[in-house]
Amino acid sequence: MKEAILWPENNMVHEYEMVVVTGADGSDADRKNQIDEIKKIIEAEKSEIVDVNDWGKRELAYPIKKQSHGHYSLITFKGNPNTPQAIKSKINLDEAILRYMVVRTEEEKVKSRGKKK
């Protein structure tokens, strides 16, 4: 049974997208383990994973850590405004991750702008 997620009292829950680029030279099992570790980090921050999408191997715009290709994954999750910073601080320690980016989804930004008026 999945544990219930307790949000902060102010109920500020946002949807975020996180793109993760890992080295393309690893095996599928290694890549799956890396994504599972990231999912554990997100869930440890009391966030809910909405979707995980594998984009596959792609050429990088410029070499990163002497690699010209990377494996891209998109993780969509819901969490409070402090979640992205907490995730970033833990992911920075993983050397297998070449790059990552966490952004709030555009729909969430539009909704929040409409509420302020």
Q: Does residue 86 belong to any structural domain of this protein?
A: yes
Distance, in Å, from the CA atom of 91 to the CA atom of 71, rounded to the nearest integer, reads 16
CATH of the domain at 37: 3.30.70.60
Q: Is the pTM of this model over 0.85?
A: no
In a domain, 5, yes or no: no
Tell me whether residue 103 is in a domain: yes
Residues 54-89: tens digit of each pLDDT:
999 999 999 988 889 999 999 999 998 888 888 888
- Specify whether the CB–CB gap between 49 and 16 falls below 8 A: no
Task: Note the residue count of the chain.
Answer: 117
In a domain? residue 3: no
Per-residue pLDDT tens digits for 40-61: 989 998 899 999 999 999 999 9
**Which domain covers residue 84, as residue numbers?**
14-116
Q: Where are the strands (E) in the chain, listed by range?
A: 14-23, 48-64, 67-79, 97-104
